[in-house]
A and B are shown apart, each in its own frame.
Chain A
């Protein structure tokens, strides 16, 4: 199935616009290339893509090494908010940035809700996401 890049971009933008406390999001390939991006101004899209892919991959490797099973998400929590990386399909990773006022439970639900649509557009196998 061909990927409609414009539609994917629109879905991501809609997610960022509608989800509470979400500041930005990006879908990236395991090679660190951005597939769709809606990031706050000033962020380097290419660097964010490379770092997101690197982090998810490393997280999966750490998960395996520490016998944590399949990794559902990686959470970065800082003074100014959250960065949440979720495996979207075998060929895509979703990064979501949320501000410090975000409720993690809500954000996780938002991600769970948007995931089937993104997976459908990417033509990947839907992966069950626990929260």
Chain B
């Protein structure tokens, strides 16, 4: 593993400007998050199930979609609780989720649209339940951090696999990418 999840988390918190006030808002609404998580999971998996490629992945093994649904509910609730105040345990959990996405073969082009479904669904629910815009913003920020972990996992796993199989140094690999990219 080339990245240190806690360090990456810290960087993402800075970049999306997840403030202490955002964390406090999320924590205060954790029980609401827990209540709506199953509905969000329904919307999410209903959306994914309509994509042929995703549907095949979700149902590749017996009970996978059921297990993933449970994981989703847990993941959604943890965005509110922050596990350990959005610290090391949270970062490692998000990194692990990213790795699972790569391992089960979900193409990276599915991740952003899928996260957009979650963000839109949760916004609607927030409005419906009369929740504040501030909570909506805070949730949007933590969703983006989680998305960044998944996206980073694709790059890390792909590049580490190439380095492992070829014996190339990181610097050589980056040089080859830069040279190739310049000619595209």
Contacts and interface: CB of A to CB of B under 8 A. Distances in A.
B171 A54 contact: no
B166 A30 contact: no
Give the contact-size bracket for chain A: 10 to 19
Main secondary structure of the interface of B (DSSP, over half): helix
Given A46-B179, A47-B179, A54-B176, A31 B171 contact: yes
B179 A30 contact: no
Contacts of B169: 30-31, 53, 57
Interface string A33-53: 100000000000011001001
Interface string B91-123: 000000000000000000000000000000000
Interface string B143-174: 00000000000000000000001111101100
B11 interface: no
Main secondary structure of the interface of A (DSSP, over half): helix
B184 to A, nearest CB: 14
21 contacts: A30-B169, A31-B169, A32-B171, A32-B175, A33-B175, A46-B175, A46-B179, A50-B172, A50-B179, A53-B169, A53-B172, A54-B168, A54-B176, A57-B166, A57-B167, A57-B168, A57-B169, A57-B172, A58-B167, A58-B168, A61-B167
Contacts of B171: 31-32
Nearest to A65: B165
Contacts of A46: 175, 179
B179 to A, nearest CB: 6
B172 A32 contact: yes
A31 B166 contact: no
A31 B179 contact: no
Interface in A49-105: 50, 53-54, 57-58, 60-61
A58 B175 contact: no
Contacts of A32: 171-172, 175-176
